[in-house]
Structure 1
Amino acid sequence: MPRYALNIKGLPYKTEWLSFTGVEPKMKELGLAAQGGPLLYTIPTIYDPNNDKIVTESFAIAKYLDQAYPDTPRLVMPGAAGFQEAYLEKVVSPLLNMIIPSIAMPVFEECCIDDADRAYVRDTREKWFGRKFEDMEWKREAMTAASEAFKVALDAIATRLLTSTLR
């Protein structure tokens, strides 16, 4: 997503592609601390040479780019950051957590560059989702539960919108 953000803003950039196993060493090289959660080091990350600033995580990058480059098209509308964060937390994340185990993870494993990457993806994602790849398949009961959880998340968004100062 940061590449889209940089394109929208018309800012020049250079992409550095990393293997899955190359992310942690690169982040340590940049001096970034480990994050909480299932993946200690993650991408996307940008380095802004104009301000000697490193920013990690898509939404944080969007907010930073708006702050650092105010004369370019905005990515986060004034007053809407809370809504956008809630949307990411309550809609996008649950949706991805519902889809990734069953569809994306087997694809990731097949697309890995080498055996080390493949082993890394399998190990980290199986720990993340608490089950083996072979058990990550669409099951009616799991989908029903996931759909209900997603409905709860959407209801939370609706409630937030109804009580928002943006109305």
Structure 2
Amino acid sequence: PTLALVAPAIFVGGDPLAGVPLDRALRFAWFRFLISQDGPGLNLVRGSVRRQLAAIEEGRTYANLSEDVRRAYARPTKAEGWDEGLLQSFRAGSFADASERLRREVPNALAPAKTKVVVVVGKNDRTTPPALSEALRDVLIECGVEDVRYELMPTASHLPMEEEAGGVRETFEALV
């Protein structure tokens, strides 16, 4: 089996807010509070996605994406309950330290199955910086996963599968 993690937002050790300026840390705390509330959480998710979609459509974010890819980003928002699903995803631990859980569960899940893991991240990713993915790679190796590959896509940011599709495809093809 193979597990591919692309731009994984998984914090594994230490305080994810260490070194973050106070104003950003306070905004993050406020964000965590809001997503814990049903009404405000849904409004936050909807507003955030609307702003992100507008930035993609206007070419302010990921300017080199094709029209087909840009339209594909809006497609999930057409599904009923998309906002509730995204809110639940945020609540499920996207912003918590996963280090202890990984160390507890990985040795029993991935290592015995001889699972190959590839971690793919864009060098210019500011959303989930390469240092987070490097730490995740190190924890997976610590936990006994023997085949862990780390691929840094040199010209990509947070969407390496679109921004460097050829390089990501080659990485995946090399695993199978």
| Greater relative CO (CA pairs within 8 A, separation 6+) | 2
Structure number with the higher strand fraction is 2
Category of TM-score, reference length = shorter chain: under 0.3
Structure number with the higher helix fraction is 1
Point out the structure with max Rg over C-alpha: 1
TM-score (norm 2): 0.25
TM-score (norm 1): 0.26
